[in-house]
Amino acid sequence: MTRSELIEAVASRSSNFSKKDVEIIISTLFRSIAESLAKGEKIEIRGFGSFKVKNRDGRKGRNPKSGEGIYVDSKKIPFFKAGKELKERVNTKKK
């Protein structure tokens, strides 16, 4: 599902908000998540999952084009862990 498909799906389920309102809400939600992660904060959405930042240590790597050994710097990466309810919903078999 793309961002525009998400906006369309939410807008079609709500008679109280226009498509433009839903777009603003979703953009604000994503921006808030990104800003919180940039600050190193953890985000937990009950029934869905949690987002946090993990540190990836520096390591030796290899340039695939030349085969030359290189050092890859340490960095922070966003990480998502699905919640129990989401896992159960994904694994429920449709009849």
Residue 87: which CATH number? 4.10.520.10
| pLDDT classification of 15: cutoffs 50, 70, 90 | confident
| Residues 35, 48 share a domain | no
Q: What span, in angstroms and rounded, lies between the C-alpha atoms of 7 and 15?
A: 13
Q: What is the pLDDT of residues 31-50, one digit of tens each?
A: 999 999 999 999 999 999 99
Whole-number pLDDT of residue 33? 96
Q: What is the mean pLDDT of residues 6-26?
A: 93
8 A C-beta contact, residue 17 and residue 7: no
Q: What span, in angstroms and rounded, lies between the C-alpha atoms of 40 and 37?
A: 5
Q: Report how many domains make up the chain.
A: 2
Average pLDDT, the chain: 93
Helix (H), strand (E) counts: the chain: 3, 5
| Residues 86, 55 share a domain | yes
| Residues 32, 56 share a domain | no
| Residues 48, 37 share a domain | no
| Residues 56, 37 share a domain | no
**Phi and psi, residue 78, nearest 5°:** -75, 145
The structure's pTM equals 0.76
Whole-number pLDDT of residue 92? 87
Whole-number pLDDT of residue 95? 59
Assess whether pLDDT exceeds 70 at residue 28. Answer: yes
